[in-house]
């Protein structure tokens, strides 16, 4: 069956967030890591979210990657392409949102492209083309000091125009409030006037549905998870996608093997989750110092410890430590070197655990899970129901060998019993 929605996301965590949003709306969604191989075999789905790391690379490299992703999605029949960007519109005058949107506009044959990072539920609203983060305009929010993309102008019409080759218009709130037909009419008028893109206002939740419905009738849109939500509701509402109930049993069906948790997040939430898990499963605390100075020995010892216990139930291996201990290690070896050594160590442990028969794996930490997923060479995930807000159950797809179920939890997500809850949903 051809795809209904193809998404190209400019970073991994944004991609997961969007994939989770689509799945919660009943859209069967697969998330790929990077541009997939032509031969990648995927189950029947309505949406594929291609995760790239293109937000802060040079614009010409971002365009090349995005066009390769578009080729792949087009070959699978995607009838609408969403270019997923950050809800704070992270970009510079050199790109990448403008150049990538324009390249996709040409590739999809789109006329005008609706663009909006609005997501009222998460405090991102757009009025008269100005983006607000909570109660303040973008240029007064912490984003003004972002190390890579400082955002010093809240007027997204100007921001996008500076990065674009043509005119950028506005679909004002008064049109959005009148519904999808008024948005479509305004977009058509702006296209007549020579605009290649238009910032679309959005202040209230129902605005997303009006924008989503208007966008779904066009080949291309650019926006954040709020636009993804609007598109999902429009596609389900129009019957272009059949609402599927997210079902944990289906995702984890037929997956045997052992279970493990690997943690590298040092957030307060993760430290508490590890402490709670100690009552329920064997926990091994890694030495960050040893992971820097004697990585092979430390990883080997951890895997030996795990192999002796895996047949009796889940195990947890954590590099995570309290802020004072982390600061000590960072002072000795440098922040980046310490972080990378620990990420390499936890990724090698994830790989060793899978080699030892683990098929249900919970990874705690954004960077930690990214490093492990890359090391495990997982090409794609089928996105399942949520374990906790923002953390879906995932099943690997397109990999040689047996499938696995995973949870990738970033730092502060999940309640104190997150690990037990995740393992239970994985069928353990």
Two tokens at 232? 């999902």
Contacting range for ligand ADP; rule: CB under 6 A; set: 223-231, 298-306, 334-342, 375-383: 334-342
Q: Please report how close the Cβ of residue 319 comes to ligand ADP at its closest, in angstroms.
A: 4
Q: Closest distance between ligand ADP and the C-beta of residue 206, in Å?
A: 33
Answer yes or no whether residue 14 interacts with ligand ADP by CB under 6 A.
Answer: no
Distances (CA, A) of 77 to 48, 258, 396: 11, 38, 22
Task: Please select the residue that binds ligand ADP; options are 205, 272, 351, 367, rule is CB under 6 A.
Answer: 367
d(CA 127, CA 207): 12
x/- track of binding to ligand ADP for residues 255-274 (CB under 6 A): ---------xxxx-------
Exactly one of 288, 361, 407, 425 binds ligand ADP (CB under 6 A); which one? 288
Q: Tokens 């040079």 belong to which residue? A: 58
Of residues 211 and 394, the one with the C-beta less far from ligand ADP? 394
SS3 83: strand
Distance in angstroms (rounded) separating the CA atoms of residues 346 and 343: 5
Q: How far is the CB of 286 from ligand ADP (least distance, A)?
A: 7
- For ligand ADP, the binding residue among 31, 221, 225, 368 (CB under 6 A) is 368
Does 366 sit near ligand ADP (CB under 6 A)? yes
Cis, peptide link before residue 96, omega less than 30° from 0: yes
- How far the first Cα of the chain sits from its last, in Å, is 33
Residue closer to ligand ADP, measured from CB, 302 or 342: 342
Q: How far is CA 237 from the centre of its chain?
A: 24
**Residue from 48, 303, 326, 407 that binds ligand ADP (CB under 6 A)?**
326
Helix boundaries (H) for 179-222 = 180-192, 205-216
Binding marks (x or -) toward ligand ADP, 339..358, rule CB under 6 A?
Answer: x--xx---------------
The owner of tokens 């807000």 is 389
Nearer to ligand ADP, 19 or 131 (CB): 19
> Of the ranges 154-162, 350-358, 360-368, 375-383, which one interacts with ligand ADP (CB under 6 A)?
360-368
User: Which residues, in sequence order, are bridge partners of residue 95?
Assistant: 92
List all residues 6 or more positions away from 308 whose beta carbon is below 8 Å from its beta carbon.
none
Give the nearer residue to ligand ADP in terms of CB position, either 289 or 386. 289
Map the footprint of ligand ADP across residues 306-325, applying CB under 6 A: 319-321, 325
Helix (H) or strand (E) holding 425: helix 418-425
Specify the pairing of strand 113-116 against strand 258-263: unpaired
What are the counts of helices (DSSP H) followed by strands (DSSP E) for the chain?
16, 18
How many amino acids of this chain bind ligand ADP (CB under 6 A)?
Answer: 21
Give the footprint of ligand ADP on this chain (CB under 6 A).
264-267, 288, 319-321, 325-326, 329, 338-339, 342-343, 365-368, 410-411
């Amino acid at each position: 069956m051809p795809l209904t929605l193809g998404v190209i996301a400019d970073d991994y965590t944004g991609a997961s967030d969007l994939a989770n949003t689509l799945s919660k709306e009943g859209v069967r969604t697969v998330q790929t890591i990077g541009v997939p191989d032509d031969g990648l075999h995927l189950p029947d789905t309505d949406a594929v979210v291609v995760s790239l790391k293109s937000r802060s690379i040079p614009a010409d490299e971002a365009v090349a990657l995005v066009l390769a992703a578009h080729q792949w999605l087009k070959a699978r029949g995607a009838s609408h392409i969403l270019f997923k960007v950050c809800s704070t519109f992270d970009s510079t005058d050199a790109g990448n949102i403008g150049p990538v949107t324009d390249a996709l506009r040409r590739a999809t044959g789109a006329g005008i492209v609706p663009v909006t990072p609005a997501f009222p539920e998460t405090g991102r609203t757009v009025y008269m083309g100005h983006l607000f983060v909570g109660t303040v305009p973008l240029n007064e929010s912490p984003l003004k000091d972002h190390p890579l993309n400082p955002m010093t102008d809240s007027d997204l019409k100007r921001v996008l125009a500076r990065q674009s080759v043509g005119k950028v218009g506005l679909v004002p709130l008064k049109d959005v409030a009148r519904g999808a037909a008024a948005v479509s009419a305004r977009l058509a008028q702006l296209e007549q006037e020579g605009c290649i893109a238009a910032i679309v206002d959005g202040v209230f939740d129902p605005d997303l549905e009006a924008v989503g419905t208007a966008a779904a009738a066009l080949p291309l849109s650019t926006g954040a998870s709020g636009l993804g939500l609007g598109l999902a509701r429009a596609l389900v509402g129009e019957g272009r996608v059949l609402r599927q109930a997210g079902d944990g049993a289906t995702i984890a069906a037929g997956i045997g093997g052992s279970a493990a948790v690997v943690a590298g997040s040092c957030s307060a939430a993760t430290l508490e989750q590890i402490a709670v898990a100690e009552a329920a499963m064997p926990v091994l605390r890694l030495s960050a110092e040893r992971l820097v100075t004697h990585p092979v020995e430390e990883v080997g010892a951890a895997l030996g410890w795990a192999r002796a216990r895996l047949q009796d139930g889940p195990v947890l291996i954590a590099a995570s430590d309290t802020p004072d201990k982390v600061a000590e290690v960072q002072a000795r070896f440098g922040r980046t070197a310490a972080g990378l050594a620990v990420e390499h160590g936890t990724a090698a442990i994830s790989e060793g655990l899978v080699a030892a028969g683990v098929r249900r794996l919970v990874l705690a930490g954004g960077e930690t899970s990214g490093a492990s997923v890359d090391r495990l060479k997982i090409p794609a995930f089928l996105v399942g129901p949520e374990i906790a807000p923002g953390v879906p159950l995932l099943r690997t797809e397109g990999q040689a060998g047996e499938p696995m179920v995973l949870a990738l939890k970033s730092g502060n997500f999940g309640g104190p019993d997150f690990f037990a809850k995740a393992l239970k949903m994985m069928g353990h």
